């Protein structure tokens, strides 16, 4: 039973769009990767610790089907995005244009506006359907330098047609960047097939890998030409050269790494990412969608997120025409963990959610329908 693999407490946890629950085995994996080197030797543990980062990028490579040299650890998506766009002369010039949606995660807009003060941010209006490739086609004019695409939207439960948008961007001469914060671990992503220009993501949600273990991915063709401004000795071709007069970029995506790296978040995340990569994201997706289908069978008329599978993320949104706060109170009383945003109540079932969890949810919510 997969639920035996996770740290679960009393109650029903459906907040995987926010934070995924850790694996039981993460504690010993962390002990092994982070503390064991201290216990085994009187030397400093950098050799073993850098091996943790190697495992992190290797597990990302397995999960997303891409060589590990194209990944660089990052603290969070905002920081990854700032570092990336400031490294692209095409975006830092006067008059550059970035296309994004008003329903992207706000932090992404904040970061872009500050990192690219001379760039025009053009938005797809929030009432337009971001699951529709035609909406993207209508906005992707030839003057767009970069299109920012969230694979899954946290407040609407929508999935963007990333393959179509990436292809269209390529045809129209624009760069493409995918934000996989809400999709990594729940929607299969094959970078070798998709071939976006850039990707940013994290481990904290469906990958159950905790916060602080985000990542930046670059298409191989961009590694050499990117010029990160926020650098440190670990961005150097040889971090241990120590010549203050000679900085040369690392030859891989690690040129975006920076100063002394943190290790602990990546020790937890790499273990968890490897677990899901081995399990197969199709398995996770299948289970998640079956559970959403079960809720839809009973509460379909209250659904505010898409009903077709290919347009859905891993999150379903239910709206009870003004009765949200009553429903939320009842759910809290029943120890069912969900949250509410502008579009309604967000429900995100993971592999550790059982049929009983869904039955329990339906029992609690039905009286309000």
Ligand X SMILES: Cc1ncc(COP(=O)(O)O)c(C=O)c1O
Residues that bind ligand X (CB under 6 A): 76-78, 105, 107-108, 150, 154, 179, 181-182, 202, 214
Minimum gap (Å) between residue 201 Cβ and ligand X: 8
Give the per-residue SS3 of 256-308.
HCCCCCCCHHHHHHHHHHHHHHHHCHHHHHHHHHHHHHHHHHHHHHHECCCCC
> Closest approach of Cβ 278 to ligand X, in Å?
25
Contact 271, 291 (CB under 8 A): no
Q: How far is the CB of 217 from ligand X (least distance, A)?
A: 15
Question: Reduced to 3 states, what is the DSSP secondary structure of residue 26?
Answer: helix
Q: Which is nearer to ligand X, 105 or 233 (by Cβ)?
A: 105
Beta-sheet pairing, 97-101 with 336-337: unpaired
- Nearest Cα to 121, choosing from 87, 157, 85? 85
C-alpha separations of 126 from 131, 156, 200 in Å: 12, 10, 22
Question: Least distance from C-beta 20 to ligand X, angstroms?
Answer: 12
Report the run of H or E that residue 339 belongs to, with start and end. Answer: strand 339-341
Three-class HEC string of 6-22: ECCCCCEECECCCCCCC
Q: 9 burial class (0-12, 13-18, 19+ CB within 10 angstroms)? A: exposed
- Least gap, CB of 208 to ligand X (angstroms): 15
Min separation Cβ 34 and ligand X, Å: 22
Contacts of residue 70, Cβ cutoff 8 Å, sequence gap at least 6: 61, 191, 217, 218, 219, 220, 223, 252, 253
Report the distance separating Cα 264 and Cα 144, nearest Å. Answer: 39
Which residue's CB is nearer to ligand X, number 16 or number 45? 16
Strand pairing class (198-201; 175-179) = parallel
User: At its nearest, how many Å lie between ligand X and the CB of residue 260?
Assistant: 21
Whichever of 37 and 109 has its CB closer to ligand X, that residue is 109
Q: Which CB, 37 or 185, lies closer to ligand X?
A: 185
Cα–Cα distance, 266 to 163 (Å, whole number): 29
> Based on CB atoms, which residue is closest to ligand X, 249 or 266?
266
Q: Which is nearer to ligand X, 49 or 215 (CB)?
A: 215
Indicate the residue among 249 and 276 with the shorter CB distance to ligand X. 276
Joined tokens for residue 209: 């890998």
**Residue whose CB is less far from ligand X, 99 or 364:** 99
Cβ neighbours, 10 Å, residue 18: 16
CB of residue 279 to ligand X, shortest distance in Å: 22
Count Cα atoms within 13 angstroms, Cβ side, for 315.
Answer: 34
- Calculate the alpha carbon distances from 280 to 108, 188, 203, 224 in Å: 29, 8, 16, 32
Least distance CB 180 / ligand X (angstroms): 8
Nearer to ligand X among residue 23 and residue 77 (C-beta)? 77
């Amino acid at each position: 039973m997969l639920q035996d693999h996770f740290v679960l407490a009393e109650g029903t946890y459906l907040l995987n769009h926010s934070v995924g629950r850790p694996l039981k085995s993460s504690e010993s994996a962390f002990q092994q990767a982070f503390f064991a080197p201290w216990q085994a030797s009187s030397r400093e543990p950098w050799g073993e610790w850098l091996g943790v980062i190697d495992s992190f990028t290797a597990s990302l490579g397995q999960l997303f089907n891409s060589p590990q040299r194209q990944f660089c650890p990052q603290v969070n998506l905002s920081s990854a995005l700032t570092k990336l766009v400031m490294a692209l002369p095409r975006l830092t010039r006067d008059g550059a244009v970035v296309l994004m949606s008003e329903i992207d995660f706000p932090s992404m807009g904040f970061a872009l506006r500050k990192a690219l003060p001379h760039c025009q941010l053009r938005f797809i209006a929030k009432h337009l359907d971001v699951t529709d490739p035609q909406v993207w086609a209508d906005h992707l004019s030839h003057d767009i330098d970069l299109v920012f695409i969230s694979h899954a939207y946290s407040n609407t439960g929508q999935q963007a047609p990333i393959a179509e948008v990436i292809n269209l961007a390529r045809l129209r001469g624009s760069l493409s960047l995918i934000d996989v914060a809400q999709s990594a671990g729940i929607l299969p992503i094959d970078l070798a097939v998709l071939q976006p220009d850039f990707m940013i993501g994290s481990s904290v949600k469906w990958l159950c890998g905790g916060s602080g273990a985000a990542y930046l991915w670059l298409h191989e063709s961009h590694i050499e030409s990117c010029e990160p401004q926020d650098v440190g000795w670990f961005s150097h071709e040889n971090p241990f050269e120590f010549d203050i007069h000679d900085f040369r970029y690392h030859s891989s995506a690690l040129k975006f790494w920076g100063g002394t790296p943190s290790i602990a978040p990546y020790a937890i995340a790499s273990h968890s990412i490897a677990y899901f990569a081995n399990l197969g994201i199709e398995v996770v997706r299948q289970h998640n969608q079956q559970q959403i289908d079960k809720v839809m069978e009973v509460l379909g008329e209250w659904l505010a997120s898409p009903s077709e599978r290919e347009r859905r993320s891993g999150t379903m949104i239910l709206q009870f025409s003004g009765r949200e706060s009553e429903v939320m109170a009842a759910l809290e009383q029943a120890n069912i963990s969900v949250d509410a945003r502008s579009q309604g109540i967000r429900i995100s079932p993971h592999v550790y959610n059982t049929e009983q969890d869904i039955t329990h949810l339906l029992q609690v919510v039905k009286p309000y329908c």
